[in-house]
Amino acid sequence: MKKIILLFIIIQIVHIYPQVREIESRSYFKQGNVEFNFSTNLGVGFSTTNSIQKNQNFSPYDSSYYEYSNESSDREFNLIFSASIGYCIVDGLSIEPELDINLVTDVETSISILGNLSYTFHIPKKNTYPFIKLGYGVSNFYSDSYSGYQNESGGNSLDTRVFNAGTGVKFLYSSGMALKLEINFKNYNYSISSSYSNEYYQNTTQIDGDMNVISLSIGFSILL
């Protein structure tokens, strides 16, 4: 009888051990997995704009030259809606194309197209997945504001450079669904120059815009 009981215990241990190993292993964010993310970002942007205007006269009656510069700063509320698709190239590491719709109080609605690289960490026996991400892309954020200074491209050009970084955590609350919280940083950088000249004078304008946005992102993920 004792031998039978001992054999039964051994069978149960052997049976349970693989289950424990399975629980501890990574269940999501594995190579080949797909993740759909949707989020709302609320934050504030700190912007600085520098403009330099130069004018040179070539007339025999007026050979004057002047240069005018101006620097301004502002703080703007940001509301950004984001959607991205992540594909895990190896366990935890994914590439994430992202589309942002940026609503800012003082500027018309703009869009950003980003390419992110994200890594999601695994904590055994936990439904919590910390993550970090870095990305780069383009936007028309400043293009609409300064379209009047452009000669050819006009507004709506995707010539604002965007650097994107974030860190946060995903809480798995049901099979294939996760709540996503993130602290996000974005830098928008823009530079444009325009010039006009004829036989009497030449005018050159240079505008450089830069904005740092810090925001809190709340959203959800669909895990496949």
pLDDT in tens, 178-223: 999 999 999 999 887 777 767 676 778 888 888 899 999 999 999 9
* Nearest-angstrom CA–CA distance, 151 and 142: 15
Give tens-digit pLDDT for 180-192: 999 999 999 988 7
| Identity of residue 199 | E
- Categorize the per-residue pLDDT at 58 as very low, low, confident or very high, splitting at 50, 70 and 90: low
Model pTM score: 0.74
Assigned CATH class of 27-223: mainly beta
pLDDT at 96: 95
Considering only residues 92 and 152, tell me which one the structure prediction assigns the higher pLDDT. 92
**Residues 6+ positions from 84 with CB-CB distance below 8 Å:** 36, 37, 96, 97, 98, 99, 114, 116
The distance of Cα 164 from the centroid of its chain, to the nearest Å, equals 4
Considering only residues 222 and 13, tell me which one the structure prediction assigns the higher pLDDT. 222
pLDDT at 152: 43
| Identity of residue 17 | Y
**Of 221, 203, 156, 214, whose CA–CA distance to 55 is shortest?**
203
Q: Say which range, 70-79, 119-128, 133-142, has the weakest mean pLDDT.
A: 70-79
* Nearest-angstrom CA–CA distance, 202 and 55: 6
